[in-house]
Structure 1
């Protein structure tokens, strides 16, 4: 049993609090005052973000950050990517000892184009060797119902990755370890872009063929940019890559897919984001990934077309035409390069 503090009382933070409590840890869930008040008012149910999931009495639920971090041995950050820097700065004076810091958000910081573990290192430098990333195919709505889920703990230090693995393991929540922090973070961030694109495809009324093409070519695009940034190719074939991509592109639990559907149906982006009521990470990640790819001269056609649809007013149908009518090419360039006689 260890003392764990979950920072962020949204759907994912709430679900992970349940997992950690089921793993026999001493858990504190911290959130904004009104959110925590509402959970208590609803008899320990987060109706705003995770309705139908009852939080055990053993979980301490508070909006007092000093109380939340007083004994924390493991701090789980479960907040939107663009708020991460601000929250890390806020909690820094209240952290005691040398806890492990786990990030669970999936995105890239727009202002700096940094991966989220890099943001944490900048804001919490004292704990830079104690950082891990938790990622993989995992909808909070299903985890909260204790549906079997497999996920990945990534850290530069094997001991840190295994510490997090042990903390989160339950009979329904299986955790694997991976040393490839860059690959895990890039896969988790970039899959949201493809999920928005597949949602647009659905909103336009296209079928399974279109979705399969977007998922498959999207994976190639994710791996191309992710390996350019230093990730390992095999990571993109694992849970954080193809696993997370499939679940996010095919499920109605996915905010990114749901947002894409509405855009494909013709709704303005501002209205879609307003109606969603929750953060859609893929929208902002599209802008960041577009800039990273441009700076590193990486070919990311799906990301480029989505960027133009979201931020330059391109008609989604025209974006599809642009993708379909690109110059012909090989499916896997590496295979062709290795076949000198082909």
Structure 2
């Protein structure tokens, strides 16, 4: 299969490295200087330092040429860039589009499938890939399992067969909404977990946050039309556990640094990567208001990020809640 991976960040590069073992892959990035440096050094020093790019992997800064004669477009840009990429490609593409973007589009608050529907149409063959997956580990060839979801069951089955690999196992789903809500909200819960660890609250507190965070994810997802069982799978529980406990998680580190009293702007500059949970918190609170869903952890994180409360006040807001039935 001829695959075009759009976005030379950590996840896009890791997917391109992995897929080039079995397919003809071109990795595109809009930064011409970065692409040229990758050609010369055979390393993506900015996002995957120390990992050698395969010689079979093609690199390109020409978007239109990249998708010429491709069989599959895999968009791995931040979600903020998804609309511009799809708009540029819309008159030219005739093949399925798979995205690995997580979160909500800034300003509109739309999920990836909603953006794609606006630009490509409701019935265009599209799918989303999401799950517990640190880019560095996949790029090193360590085992990874993710969910691939599409409303088109035939497309799901086709992509699962074509992309399945012992080191990247794909599990199919038709719950696009649930998969995307889980992928967006787990980053908020990771910030909360990092905050808890940064305040030295212990493993018990982190376990409670993860568990109640999963309940919030499921609550909103089901209200929006997702399936509750999706949140117990790889794109829900699996991704949440990884992101809320792994030191490689950018969102977890945001929470830890906030607990130390650092300002958000400084934290994000230090990370040098997108921390999707920061933007997602605002959008999730808006959705909670729209769907009348109780999301106390999400609200706490959103208030903390916007300096409405301190880290210790955030903790108190959760500990002082009224007792209630778990289910």
Task: Give the TM-score band, short-chain normalised.
Answer: over 0.9
The counterpart of 1:76, out of the listed 68, 74, 81, is 74
C-alpha separation between the residues in 2 aligned to 1:92 and 1:53? 33
CA deviations on 1:62-83 (whole Å, 9 max, x unpaired) are 1011220111110000011122
> Which segment drifts farther, 223-232 or 162-171?
162-171
How many residues were matched structurally?
A: 326
Aligned residue for 1:331, secondary structure, equals coil
- Superposition deviation, residue 168 in structure 1: 2.2
What corresponds to 1:90 in structure 2?
88
What corresponds to 1:19 in structure 2?
18
What corresponds to 1:38 in structure 2?
37
- Superposition deviation, residue 302 in structure 1: 0.2
Q: Is 1:176 equivalent to 2:175 in the alignment?
A: no
What corresponds to 1:339 in structure 2?
none
Gapped regions of structure 2 (runs ≥ 5): none
TM-score, with structure 2 as normaliser: 0.97
The counterpart of 1:277, out of the listed 272, 281, 285, is 272
Gapped regions of structure 1 (runs ≥ 5): 333-342
What corresponds to 1:226 in structure 2?
221
The counterpart of 1:318, out of the listed 313, 319, 325, is 313
What corresponds to 2:204 in structure 1?
209
C-alpha separation between the residues in 2 aligned to 1:295 and 1:171? 42
What corresponds to 1:100 in structure 2?
96
CA deviations on 1:291-332 (whole Å, 9 max, x unpaired) are 011111100000011111011431111111111111110111
Q: Is 1:263 equivalent to 2:258 in the alignment?
A: yes
CA deviations on 1:15-62 (whole Å, 9 max, x unpaired) are 10122112x2111100021221121121x2111101122222111111
What corresponds to 1:119 in structure 2?
115
TM-score, with structure 1 as normaliser: 0.93
- Superposition deviation, residue 90 in structure 1: 2.6
- Superposition deviation, residue 166 in structure 1: 2.3
> Which segment drifts farther, 61-70 or 127-136?
127-136
C-alpha separation between the residues in 2 aligned to 1:54 and 1:128? 39
C-alpha separation between the residues in 2 aligned to 1:164 and 1:192? 26
- Superposition deviation, residue 163 in structure 1: 2.1
